[in-house]
Amino acid sequence: MSQLDFGESVRPERRPEWRLTGVVFFSILAFVVLYATVMIIRPFLSAIILGAVLVTITFPVYTRLRDKLKGRATLSATLMLVGITLCIILPAVVLGFLLVGEANMMIAHMRSGQAQALLQRIDIVGHLQWLTRFGVDPAAIDPKRAVMPVLQRIPGWIATNGPAVIGSVAGAVLAFALVLLSAFFFYVEGESIIEQFAILSPLPAKYDREFAGQFKDVVDATFRGQVTTSLAQGIVTAVGLAIAGVPGAILWGFVATILSLLPMLGAAAVWVPATIYLFIDASMGDRSYFGAIFLLIWGVLVVSTIDNIVRPWAMKGKSQLPAIPLLFAVIGGMNAFGFIGLVIGPLVFSLLMSIIDIYKRSFGLRRSESEVA
């Protein structure tokens, strides 16, 4: 009798409960390893997601470049990252210098005697005396007490927190480098990763394709739709403010771009107060009414309607959430995940809608058929 035969003869027969125990043990081990993996990559999760989003948006360009370079994926990915870096870094540096200059000019304007004289002539405290009936002191919300002291402390704050600002810039550079590394990996290995997910997924192939298409549509809807529209609204807001003579037009245009990312808020939160400011300033005789009237017309006819032109062009038929669910998805996602929640929030909501739709098609129909039978 050989050693192998002996081993097979004395080995006890495996019973079904041992197979179940093995499945349970493997499941626990897989859960522990996956949890440890998530904890390890958690500090880099935002960079990984941004890299995946960046690749999702630009992957058609990458495939065309790879075909022209005869399938050299590494070289194609490197050239894509160089192009993306130039397209992001150069405008960001120029915009940064412009924002610093606009901020300095606006601070100087607000700290000047002209701004203080305007606030004094408006006499906000005098017009809000009726708030005393409700136990509110109008002097507590006087802009001269709330805004001016802050502006006076800005130079000291910059001197004190200069190293922290520099550290934040260094952290942003490192985060951007991690995004590029993630994007490089997804460019080169992205198709292989999708194939592995399809193999591991227990769902039917048509549902795997549906989830993948939903992910791509949400990314396109968020970045090609919402972000492009926000940039357009920010630019036209800055142009209108500059023509109307509002101090810090580029800075406020940047603020309008950020606010336009939030549904049901938008650039109106910038140009409407600016219009009121111009009307008040004109009523004091410090300027003509041209700027106020122009900005009002510009805001209503251009800023508020440009999204109806830019969004359909940017979306190109991509699906998106209705306005109110999108509002909750964006705000809740940014509150939970930071800036990356701008994508994660709508993505989670859209996947939830897909899951509900798949459940209705897969189980609801069967249940109705059984009930009919």
| pLDDT at residue 161, rounded to an integer | 55
| Torsion of the alpha carbons at 214, 220, 222 and 224, rounded to the nearest 10 | -170
CA-to-CA distance for 214 and 211, rounded, in angstroms? 5
Radius of gyration of the chain (CA): 29
Helices 268-283, 228-244: inter-axial angle, 10-degree rounding: 10
Question: With left for phi above 0 and alpha for psi between -120 and 50, is residue 359 left, alpha or beta?
Answer: alpha
Between CA 274 and CA 247 the distance in angstroms is 10
CA distance 293 to 299: 10
DSSP string, 308-341: HHHHHHHHTT-----HHHHHHHHHHHHHHHGGGH
Tokens representing residue 230 in the block: 């926000």
pLDDT at 369: 45
Section 163-191 average pLDDT:
80
pLDDT in tens, 329-349: 878 887 887 777 777 888 788
Q: How many CA atoms lie within 13 A of 60 on its CB side?
A: 3
DSSP for 25-55, please give it: HHHHHHHHHHHHHHHHHGGGHHHHHHHHHHH
By the 8 A CB rule, do 277 and 118 touch?
no
The token pair at 259 is 């606010």
Q: What is the mean pLDDT of the chain?
A: 76
pLDDT, average across residues 217-222: 75
**Residues of the chain above pLDDT 90, percent:** 12
- Best mean pLDDT range from 129-138, 218-227, 291-300: 291-300
* Residue 207: pLDDT over 50: yes
Please compute, for residue 182, the number of CA atoms within 13 A of its CA located in the half-sphere on the CB side: 20
Question: Would the pLDDT of 121 be above 50?
Answer: yes
So what's the pLDDT on residue 106? 66
Q: Which residues lie below 8 Å from residue 306, measured CB to CB, with a gap of 6+?
A: 229, 232, 233, 236
